[in-house]
């Protein structure tokens, strides 16, 4: 039950990002860079110092390597098959506020729906990662939740911006991003059944989570963080890494 609460909180962060955009518009670039960098540091540290060592202690090197490759490969396939999630998806977002009177754009509405679907499917393996970390220790599971939450807030913003400019009402945007975020606890529930297969499978699941998280960091978080404010992104990454190092 506790792990489902953790996973739900990570999923709710997607909706929080949408609420921020609906109420205030897009946050300052430096804040976004810090958030994305911080999430990168947490996720890299957890994958390298917690998940992979735990997987190696429970299984073989080949089992761990196989799980790692599968996790990264799944995220790569999702990236090819689904729209990429970028905060620059909204062409006018630099000047965007909820009340600036921009006329609805049907193309942005369509883009927002595509991004929402893509994020929802990406959130399922994120839920698996939370479950795998929690199996090793509740503290690790909570640390993964924190990293993914900082990752999901900007994703909620990336979804809300084109939908709002496309003409969708704010309450429907919040509801949609809430449903998208609930794919995270769904992934955790799926993992709960899979992880009961035995210790070797748990080891592979932890390696799978590490591969998926490192792919997300490399493909989305670090490149996006440096587009806004490079130095703040680096500071956020180092801070996130150090927090896991000290608390771990």
Write out pLDDT tens, residues 58-87. 888 999 999 999 989 988 887 777 655 455
Nearest to 157, CA basis, from 9, 165, 207 = 165
pLDDT category of residue 245 using cuts at 50, 70 and 90:
confident
pLDDT category of residue 178 using cuts at 50, 70 and 90:
very high
pLDDT at 204: 84
Nearest to 236, CA basis, from 134, 154, 133 = 154
pLDDT category of residue 91 using cuts at 50, 70 and 90:
very low
- On the question of pLDDT at 159 being above 60, the answer is yes
How many residues does the structure list for the chain?
248
Tell me 27's DSSP state: P
pLDDT at 92: 40
Which residues lie closer than 8 Å to 54 by C-beta, 6 or more apart? 136, 140, 203, 206
- On the question of pLDDT at 104 being above 70, the answer is no
pLDDT at 220: 78
pLDDT at 181: 92
Please report how the helices 106-136 and 2-24 are oriented relative to each other, as an axis angle in degrees rounded to 10.
Answer: 150
Whether the CB-CB separation of 160 and 111 falls below 8 Å is answered with no
User: How confident is the model over 10-29, as a mean pLDDT?
Assistant: 84
pLDDT category of residue 179 using cuts at 50, 70 and 90:
very high
HSE at residue 12, side-chain half, CA atoms within 13 A, is 7
Nearest to 172, CA basis, from 22, 68, 4 = 22
pLDDT category of residue 89 using cuts at 50, 70 and 90:
very low
- pLDDT tens digits, residue range 181-222? 999 999 888 877 776 667 777 788 888 888 988 988 888 778
Tell me the three-class secondary structure of 138-160, residue by residue.
Answer: HHHHHHHHHHHHHHHHHHHHHHH
More confident residue, 208 or 93: 208
Percent with pLDDT over 90 in the chain: 17
Alpha carbons 168 and 95: distance in angstroms, whole number: 19
């Amino acid at each position: 039950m506790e792990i489902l609460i953790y996973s739900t909180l990570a999923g709710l962060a997607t909706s929080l990002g949408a609420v921020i955009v609906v109420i205030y518009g897009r946050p300052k670039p430096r804040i976004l860079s810090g958030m994305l960098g911080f999430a990168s540091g947490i996720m890299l540290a957890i994958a390298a110092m917690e998940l992979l060592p735990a997987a190696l202690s429970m299984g073989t090197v080949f089992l761990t390597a196989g799980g790692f490759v599968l996790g990264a490969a799944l995220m790569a396939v999702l990236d090819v098959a689904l729209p990429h999630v970028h905060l620059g998806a909204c062409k006018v977002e630099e000047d965007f506020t909820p009340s600036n009177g921009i006329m609805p754009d049907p193309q942005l509405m369509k883009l927002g729906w595509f991004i929402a679907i893509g994020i929802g499917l990406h959130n399922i393996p994120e839920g698996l990662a939370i479950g795998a970390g929690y199996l090793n220790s509740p503290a690790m599971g909570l640390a993964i939740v924190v990293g993914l939450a900082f990752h999901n807030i900007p994703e909620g913003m990336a979804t809300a911006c084109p939908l709002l400019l496309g003409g969708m009402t704010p309450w429907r945007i919040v509801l949609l991003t809430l449903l998208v975020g609930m794919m995270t606890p769904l992934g955790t529930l799926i993992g709960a059944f899979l992880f009961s297969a035995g210790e070797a499978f748990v080891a592979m699941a932890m390696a799978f989570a590490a591969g998926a998280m490192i792919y997300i960091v490399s493909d989305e978080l670090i490149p996006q963080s440096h587009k806004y404010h490079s130095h703040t992104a680096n500071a956020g990454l180092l801070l996130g890494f150090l927090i896991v190092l000290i608390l771990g």
